Amino acid sequence: MTENGKKRSDWFTESSTEIVQLRLGPSAEAVGRVEHVADNVAAVSGLPDVRLNELLLFEGGRTGFALTLDEETISAVLLDDGAAIQSGSRVRGTGEVVRVPVGRALLGRIVDPLGRPLDGGPPIAAEAQEPIERPAPAIIDRDLVSRPVETGILVVDALFALGRGQRELIIGDRATGKTSIAVDTIVNQKDADIISVYVAVGQRATAVERVIEAIRNHGAMDRCIFVVASAAASPGLQWIAPFTGFTMAEYFRDRGEHALIVIDDLSKHAATHRELALLTREPPGREAYPGDVFYLHARLLERAAKLSGKLGGGSLTALPIAETDAGNLSAYIPTNLISITDGQIVLNSHLFTADQRPAVDVGLSVSRVGGKAQHPALRQVSGEVRLQYSQFQELEMFTRFGGISDKRVKAQMLRGKHIRALLSQQRFATLRMIDQIALLAALNAGTLDALSPEDLATLRTRLAAFLDANPTSATTAIEEGKQLAESQLADLVAVVARLAAELASTAADAES
């Protein structure tokens, strides 16, 4: 008898059966060798069958992917700490590209570009593993961009409407509020049907923490995914981060839902791509960027789309962020991104220092979808605001050197100052669609002309509660996405006029 109580004859019978069923034959496994490694890039030889972007396994469980294929060697970018990898280390190909987890288990989580938790929570219970590089939807699979993404920011929703499936670039100098616009947009989706994905590329850890804390305090954390490749992460992780974010967001788009992705920012992503290209000895081009940097961002942003009804009608909206130097929009990366996207929101450092926030440059900003995706009632009341504000900015420049004598010019200047005060908006003070329509309708009717900028700010703060307390027939029409009749507009303006009269009387009592 054996130790487990079985007869020796039974043990030999079972072993014989396993031996008979075992298939014997030659097997071959390709094993490469690290020739040299430096700056998180390894030169690997002995793997002639490896494909571009294939995932590689190094000794010690480290991973990387093939970035360039030369005649004798492969330049592999490491995705983990390369301190343990030395010349002579063994490398194996996997036959697979880099894949990341997708699914609803990612909602509310903070992960790295490989889907590994960074928030101290349990491992992600993924519904599937999808490749980070996926083809963009074909033209025949797309539908018209016709529904708005409500940002809650008056200057954006009224003048540069963002549609579901659009790619709108947020661009400006350092510290002009680019991330603030994106975060406010995410915060405004807390009661909407849009899933938000925030991708941090090369950002300081403290800056990323502030973004996450802001969304936790003001938005819906459980409807967001955070993909973080901070400045301390390896260049490989920073390079794949935007692709990872798109793959995670496409999971929801492909199931008929709506998603929003913010990439903060693509300027640092382009710098990482340039760094890796120079380390792998690719020929440099303009500003030392490799020639494929345009294709890199084009194939990434083309994945944002509104799908046709046959494919579920889902959408993926992209808000990439880019940084300029001294407002130079003609630099290489800004011009590339402007030509790829469907419009840009340009932030001006001079407006920011003048305390005009959001510091949106109305003259340089544009949305190439615009009114096609704007709420019909908002389009109805915002038509003349941009023209009036642009004329005011030109008049303001010319009147700095002398007084104003013409009554018409004085009226234009007064209207422009009210528009400026109305478009100024504090962070996390997002406006509902009905609030925006009411404000612009009252502006067009001249109801706000007698208010000071301070009273305008107070009116905007108290407007939501006042409209809820004094409902009109316009409320139902706005909720149903319809235009407003003249009588409905008049009722809405009358409500705002009553609130303005209360503020004016309160200000008069305070003076007396």
Tally Cβ neighbours within 10 Å of residue 487. Answer: 11
Residue 172 phi/psi, 5° resolution? 170, 175
Cα–Cα distance measured from residue 345 to residue 365, given in angstroms and rounded to the nearest whole number: 5
Tokens 């704007």 belong to residue: 374
Contact 284, 277 (CB under 8 A): yes
Question: Cα separations (Å) of 146 from 127, 192, 376, 471?
Answer: 31, 16, 11, 28
Cα 362 from chain centre: 21
Cα–Cα distance measured from residue 249 to residue 266, given in angstroms and rounded to the nearest whole number: 17
- Known binder of ligand: residue 285? no
- Known binder of ligand: residue 313? no
Q: Which of 90, 368, 386, 432 is catalytic?
A: 368
Contact 371, 379 (CB under 8 A): yes
- Known binder of ligand: residue 173? yes
386 is catalytic: no
Contact 162, 169 (CB under 8 A): no
- Known binder of ligand: residue 177? yes
Using alpha carbons, select from 350, 347, 340 the residue that is nearest to residue 153.
Answer: 347
Cα–Cα distance measured from residue 155 to residue 505, given in angstroms and rounded to the nearest whole number: 29
Contact 56, 64 (CB under 8 A): yes
- Known binder of ligand: residue 361? no
Cα–Cα distance measured from residue 242 to residue 201, given in angstroms and rounded to the nearest whole number: 8
Tally Cβ neighbours within 10 Å of residue 377. Answer: 25
CA atoms lying within 13 Å on the CB side of residue 420: 20
- Known binder of ligand: residue 172? yes
* Strand bridging mode 194-201 / 110-111: unpaired
Contact 369, 145 (CB under 8 A): yes
Exposure string for 37-58, b = 16+ CB within 10 A, e = fewer: beebbbbbebbeebeebbbbeb
Tokens 């700490």 belong to residue: 81
Known binding positions for ATP: 172-179
As annotated, the active-site residues are: 368
